[in-house]
Amino acid sequence: MPFRLEKRPAPSRLMLYATPFGALALTMIAGALVFSLIGYDGLAAVQQIFITPLTSTFRWQDLAVKASPLIIIGVGLAVAYRANVWNIGAEGQYIVGGLTGTWVALATHGMTGIWILPAMVLAGMAGGMAYAAIPAFFKTRFNVNEILTSLMLTYASVQLVYYVVRGPWKDPMGMGFPQTRVFSEAARLPNMIPGTIVHWGVPVALLVALVVWFVMSRSVFGYRIKVVGAAPKAARYAGFSTNATIWLALLVSGGLAGLAGVLEVAGPFQRMVPGFPTNYGFTAIIVAFLARLHPIGVIFAAIVLAVTFVGGDLAQTTTGLPSAASGIFQAMLLFFLLAGDILVRYRVRRVSSQPAAGVRAAAEAQP
Amino acid sequence: MTLSRRNVLKIGGAAAALPLLGQKAFSQTEPLKVGFIYIGTINDNGWNYAHNQGRLYMEQELGDAVESVFVENVAEGPDCERVMRELVQAGCKLIFATSFGYGDYVIKIAQQFPDVKFEHATGYQRSENVATYNARFYEGRAVCGTLAGHLSKTGKAGYIGSFPIPEVVMGVNAFVLAARKVNPDFTITPVYISTWNDPAREADAARAMIDQGIDVIAQHTDGPAALQVAEERGIVGGFGQGADMSAFAPKAQLTSIIDNWGPHYAATAKAVIDGTWESKDSWPGLKEGEVVIGDYNESIPDDVVAAAEAVKNGQIDGSMHIFTGPINDHTGAEKVAAGVTLTDADLLSMDWYVEGVIPPA
């Protein structure tokens, strides 16, 4: 190959923050082109997917509800990824959080009391943490790759949902349908604004992002996470334990994913159903990267992804776009973002076919 | 621009996006806008395909009086609530929600929009403006079971189901009851894959069961994956579910149960236009033509086809009901006395297996 990637000494800060916007623009351009080429109205498709969801107030509530679990999970993943801990199983931790929350809801069924919801939230976070503790244990004890363990545990958690809704937690009044009973009033997340579907999970998501941003930028904990991730050797000299950081990163991201899960089951779902796993945990990975692993950026990135979900369904009814379209746009977004990252961190150098000569020529060219 | 389905949709969609442009200027009365939500894609050649065919039939029958839009791949959760709300905002006055798991959300959204009519397929919850509809698939299962009883060499069938809900359980039971009228030792093994549409999982389940000695396969999932495996492995065969699937398994498809939703969709839309719509449960079957038995495979001997036709016609003229006792449950205990026929309510809450079913662990 006549080209070679060379690491830039210091990537431009401006470019680092500009790439997400560039990736978004490129996604829209490429999307319009691709869909025009295969016979759809490409421009209308882009407009439906990226613009229309923002244009009316009644859709903002959809965006808020769709974005809030993405924010909560995305913030947790941003912390873990900062520490170079690759938790890919947030979906599983989200599901287990939903399940442990459901457990409290079912155990307190028919009771009243304002303590029920907080208890569910705590149970959900604990569930997510416990599920993330498994990869943490294997990673720190046996050096098992956390990407594999956390990902595979996701599939196990989906089976767990199927098991409980068919067996022990099946709705006794549900005519045999595989779902739990509807939670009683005290176990349901109330709507924040009457007449809308905006529930209290939305402000919680924003609060989580703010708190984590504050902790990451102002505390020793945040500093430590960043140092371990960016310079593991320096971290060891500084006396930061790598293992403790791995544990922290997984517990924080797992706990937050569990929080998202319990808020989702207590809010929009209000009962556990086999359709509970909806890939928020996987989408949140795109969110975290699009946000440059910045907690406040996560808010905006989550809204962008929420827009593509809402817009994707809209585009089906208005321009007849297939349902796969929103997935294609999300994938392009991640692709352009990662490609952009490469170019920000590395520069492409033209080299002649004989590398030795090329290096010499380059050396001579230097004044 | 050809008048393909996509383009028709595009035009319909464009009109949908601009309700303010005053459609009244173009036509005397505003067409009824009908929305459909599907759990999978219309290209699944099964469940969702059949609903979409029904939608197209409705458009054809009612012409300018209706226009329709659909949304594919709508998950059974809060997402479907949002999609239905979008459809209402886009002007739909009648919405068909075509999967079981939409139920809670249909009820919820229907409360918010009392002037919109909702119809929920295979569901059981109704309200002022929510009706339910279904088809007596079990009648078709009885025909398939008769074929299986005659044709199977091992006397063992496999049944790929989504979830063990009454709808699915009654299909398993009808199938094996019919098969055991022919071969009293016939058994069936249901396997539940917890999804309506996952071709890879359906195929895996089919392979595993074939390895265990079944030679007939039936499925209550949305696509032709299990039939394709049957074709590949050269077993006695299987059945198209929802639509004719012979294109995928010309040898293996013995016959198919075709869901013919079109007449229901056309009649319902007509009722809404005429103002005669009311909330009810409709559950037609072979007699009304909502369930149709497809072509029989040429390889099936004439006397077996005749036996299957007899079961079909018996259910059409009412002389036969597959759930007439004596029926034992899977442990062998008598569940339905001789001469007694289960009521619709019994069927719709069916959570037990008849004799001959090997219940999943």
The per-residue DSSP string of A125-181 comes to HHHHHHHHHHHHHHHHHH---HHHHHHHHHHHHHHHHHHHHHTTT--TTSTT-SSPP
Tell me if the pTM is above 0.95: no
Contacts of A28 by beta carbon, 8 Å cutoff, 6+ apart: A46, A50
The domain total for chain B is 2
Q: How far apart are CA B149 and CA B138, in angstroms?
A: 16
> Six-digit token pair at B341?
């026929």
B21 class by beta-carbon count within 10 Å (0-12 exposed, 13-18 middle, 19+ buried)? exposed
Between chains, do B78 and A273 touch, taking CB under 8 Å as contact? Answer: no
**Domain finish residue from B101, B133, B165:** B133
Residue B295 lies inside a defined structural domain of this protein? yes
Residue type, B197: N
Distance of CA B80 to the CA centre of its chain: 19
- Contact list, A66 vs chain B (CB under 8 Å): 82
Task: Specify the pLDDT at position B148.
Answer: 96
Give the C-alpha separation, B219 to B235, whole Å.
15
**Which of B6, B35, B350 is facing A320, going by the closest CB pair?**
B6
Distances (CA, A) of A222 to A78, A251, A254, A328: 11, 14, 17, 35
Decide if B340 is inside a domain.
yes
Would you call A269 and B77 a contact, using CB atoms and an 8 Å cutoff? yes
**Domain co-membership, B43 together with B117:** yes
Type of residue found at A98: G
B276 within domain boundaries = no
> For chain A, how long is the longest CA-to-CA vector?
83
Full pLDDT tens readout for chain B, 361 residues: 444 555 554 544 444 444 444 344 444 578 999 999 999 888 888 899 999 999 999 999 999 999 999 999 898 888 899 999 989 988 999 999 999 889 889 999 999 999 999 999 988 889 999 999 999 999 999 999 999 999 999 999 999 998 888 889 999 999 999 999 999 999 999 998 888 888 899 999 999 999 999 999 999 988 899 999 999 999 999 999 888 999 999 999 999 999 999 999 999 999 999 999 999 999 999 999 999 999 999 999 999 999 999 999 999 999 999 999 899 999 999 999 999 999 998 898 888 999 999 988 6
Question: Does the residue B283 lie in any domain?
Answer: no
Residues forming beta bridges with residue B33, ordered by sequence position? B67
DSSP state of A89: -
Q: Are the beta carbons of B350 and A197 separated by less than 8 Å?
A: no
Do B71 and B216 share a domain, yes or no? no
Q: Is residue B196 part of a domain?
A: yes
Residue B301: which CATH number? 3.40.50.2300
d(CA B157, CA B148): 8
pLDDT of residue B13: 47
Q: Which of B133, B152, B171 finishes a domain? A: B133
> In this complex, do A317 and B73 lie within 8 Å of one another by their Cβ atoms?
no
Contact A178 B71 (CB under 8 A): no
Q: Among B236, B229, B238, which residue's Cα sits nearest to residue B256?
A: B238
Chain A residues within 8 A of B165 when measuring between CB atoms: 175-178
Decide if B71 and A313 are in contact by the 8 Å CB cutoff: yes
Phi, psi of A87 (to 5 degrees): -80, 105
Q: Do B166 and B298 have their domain in common?
A: yes
Indicate if B203 and B321 belong to the same structural domain: yes
Q: Tens of pLDDT along B272-304?
A: 999 999 999 999 999 999 999 999 999 999 999
Closest Cα to residue A197, out of B61, B45, B268, B78?
A: B78
Instruction: Please judge whether A175 and B6 are an interchain contact, meaning their C-beta atoms are less than 8 angstroms apart.
Output: no
Assess contact for A44 and A320: CB atoms under 8 A: no
- pLDDT of res. B18: 43
Residue type, A209: A
Q: What is the DSSP letter of A196?
A: S
Q: How many contacts, defined by CB atoms under 8 Å, are there between A and B?
A: 98
Tokens of A286: 């795109």
Judged on CB neighbours under 10 Å (0-12, 13-18, 19+), B8 is middle
On whether the CB atoms of residues B132 and B166 are closer than 8 A, the answer is: no
pLDDT the model gives residue A352: 64
Among A316, A321, A326, pick the best mutation site for testing chain B contact (most B Cβ within 10 A).
Answer: A316
The per-residue pLDDT string of chain A (367 residues; one tens digit each, 9 = 90 and over) reads 578 888 888 777 888 788 889 999 999 999 999 989 988 888 888 888 898 888 887 788 889 999 999 999 999 999 999 999 999 999 999 999 999 999 999 999 988 889 999 999 999 999 999 999 999 999 999 999 999 999 999 999 999 999 999 889 988 877 777 889 999 989 999 888 877 888 999 999 999 999 999 999 898 888 888 888 888 888 888 888 888 889 999 999 999 999 999 999 999 999 999 889 989 999 999 999 989 899 999 999 999 999 998 888 888 877 778 888 888 888 899 899 888 888 888 888 887 655 554 444 444 444 4
φ, ψ at A201 (rounded to 5°)? -65, -25
3-state secondary structure chain B: CCCCHHHHHHHHHHHHHCHHHCHHHCCCCCCEEEEEECCCCCCCCCHHHHHHHHHHHHHHHHHHHEEEEEECCCCCCHHHHHHHHHHHHCCCCEEEECCHHHHHHHHHHHHHCCCCEEEEECCCCCECCEEEECCCHHHHHHHHHHHHHHHCCCCEEEEEECCCCHHHHHHHHHHHHHHHHHCCCCEEEEEECCCCCCHHHHHHHHHHHHHCCCCEEEECCCCCHHHHHHHHHCCCEEEEEECCCCCCCCCCEEEEEEECCHHHHHHHHHHHHHCCCCCCEECCCCCCCCEEECCCCCCCCHHHHHHHHHHHHHHHHCCCCCCECCEEECCCCEEECCCCECCHHHHHCCCCCECCECCCC
Say if B167 falls within a structural domain: yes
Q: Does A310 touch chain B (CB under 8 A)?
A: yes
Closest chain B C-alpha to A242 CA, distance in angstroms? 40
Nearest-angstrom CA–CA distance, B172 and B219? 9
Q: Which residues lie across from B256 on neighbouring strands?
A: B240
| Residue A35 identity | F
Nearby residues of B204 by Cβ (< 8 Å), 6 or more positions away = none
Interface of B with A (CB under 8 A): 6, 9-10, 13-14, 16-17, 35, 41, 69-79, 81-83, 85-87, 89-90, 100-101, 104, 124, 163-166, 169, 194, 348-351
Q: Are B141 and B128 in the same domain?
A: no
Distance CA B104, CA B66 (A): 27
pLDDT at A19: 87
At position A216, the amino acid (one-letter code) is M
Same domain (yes/no): B56, B99: yes
**Both B129 and B217 in a single domain?**
no
Do B241 and B218 form a contact (C-beta atoms < 8 A)?
Answer: yes
B278 inside domain: no
List of chain B residues whose C-beta atoms are within 8 Å of the C-beta of residue A269: 77-78
What is d(CA B234, CA B252) in angstroms, rounded to the nearest whole number?
A: 7
Residue A310 to residue B82, Cβ atoms within 8 A: yes
B219: nearest Cα among B231, B227, B208, B210 = B227
The DSSP secondary-structure symbol of A271 reads S
Contact flag B79-A271 (C-beta cutoff 8 Å) = no
Query: What count of other Cβ atoms lies within 10 Å of the Cβ of residue A218?
Result: 10
The residue among B103, B133, B163 that closes a domain is B133
> Do both B141 and B68 map to the same domain?
no
Nearest CA in chain A to B13: A318
DSSP A185: G
Nearest CA in chain A to B109: A197
User: Which residue from B minimizes the CA distance to A324?
Assistant: B73
Residue B110: inside a domain, yes or no? yes
CB pair distance less than 8 Å for B163 and A39: no
**Is the Cβ–Cβ distance between A250 and A241 less than 8 Å?**
no
% of chain B surpassing 70 pLDDT: 92
Out of B73, B86, B100, closest to residue A317 by CB: B86
Report which DSSP code applies to A269. I
Task: Look at chain B and count its residues.
Answer: 361
The answer to whether residue A176 neighbours chain B at the CB level (below 8 Å) is yes
Q: Which residue has the tokens 């044709």?
A: B151
Interchain proximity B77–A178, CB inside 8 Å: no
Chain B residues with CB inside 8 Å of A177's CB?
100, 163, 165-166
Domain map (residue ranges) of chain A: 69-298
Which pair of tokens denotes residue A50? Answer: 């990226």
* The token pair that represents A159 in the structure block: 């089976």
pLDDT value, residue A358: 47
Same domain, B170 and B196: yes
DSSP assigned state of A187: G
Residues of B in contact with A307 (CB under 8 A): none
What is the pLDDT, as a whole number, of residue B17?
Answer: 46
Other beta carbons within 10 Å of A42: 21
Is residue A62 within 8 angstroms of chain B, CB to CB? yes
d(CA A190, CA B352): 38
Residues 6+ apart with CB under 8 A from B74: A313, B37, B38, B39, B80, B83, B99, B102
pLDDT of res. B24: 41
The distance of A231 to chain B (nearest Cα, Å) reads 42
Same domain, B25 and B160: no
C-alpha B53/C-alpha B242 separation (Å) is 11
* Domain span holding position B79: 5-133
B336 and B204 fall within a common domain: yes
3-state secondary structure of A242: helix
Distance from CA of B14 to the nearest CA of A (A): 6
Tell me: do B84 and B169 sit in the same domain.
Answer: no
CA distances from A4 to A7, A10, A367 (A): 10, 18, 22
Written as six digits, the tokens of A198 are 């905006």
Burial A87-120 (b: 16+ CB within 10 A, else e): bbbbbbbbbbbbbbbbbbbbebeeeeeeebbebb
Cβ atoms of B227 and B240 within 8 Å: the answer is yes
CA atoms within 13 A on the CB side of B270: 13
Say whether A261 sits in a helix, a strand or coil: helix
**ipTM confidence:** 0.72
Cβ-proximal residues to A168 (8 Å cutoff; 6+ apart), any chain: none
Cβ-nearest to B194 among A162, A268, A323: A162
A316 to chain B: which residues are within 8 Å by CB? 70-72
**Amino acid, res. A159:** Q
Report the residue from B82, B90, B166 with minimal CB separation from A176. Answer: B166
- Does residue A146 sit at the B interface (CB-CB below 8 Å)? no
Q: Are B330 and B354 in contact (CB under 8 A)?
A: yes
